């Protein structure tokens, strides 16, 4: 990611419900691997797609659109 847009400590929130597709039941007795890639980076938005693997097979796919939240939202 370009430091031009994002800085360490930036606070992101989900723009809407993440998009998920369950392709098959996921085993719980094995190692699970999540592979993700950044599809798009803009000044305030990042789109990430991911896949969940179990026993060498894709079990689920997902996509998240995250937007940079205003600074006051990250202050508690």
CA atoms of 67 and 18, how far apart (whole Å): 12
Could you tell me if residue 3 is inside a domain?
no
**Is position 2 within any domain?**
no
Number of domains in the chain: 1
Q: Which residue has the higher pLDDT, 65 or 69?
A: 65
Interval 2-60: pLDDT, tens: 445 555 555 566 555 667 888 999 888 999 999 999 999 888 888 899 999 999 999 99
Q: Is residue 50 part of a domain?
A: yes
Q: Is 4 a member of any domain?
A: no
Instruction: Tell me the residue range of the domain where 42 lies.
Output: 18-74
Q: Structure pTM?
A: 0.68
Q: How many CA atoms lie within 13 A of 16 on its CB side?
A: 4
The answer to whether position 11 is within a domain reads no
CA distance 70 to 11: 8
CATH of residue 55: 3.10.129.10
């Amino acid at each position: 990611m370009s430091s031009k847009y994002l800085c360490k400590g930036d606070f992101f929130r989900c723009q809407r419900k993440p998009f998920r597709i369950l392709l098959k039941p996921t085993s719980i007795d094995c190692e699970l691997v999540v592979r993700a890639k950044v599809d798009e980076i803009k000044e305030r938005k990042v789109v990430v797609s991911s896949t969940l693997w179990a026993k060498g097979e894709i079990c689920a796919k997902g996509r998240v659109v995250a937007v940079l939240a205003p600074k006051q939202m990250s202050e508690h």
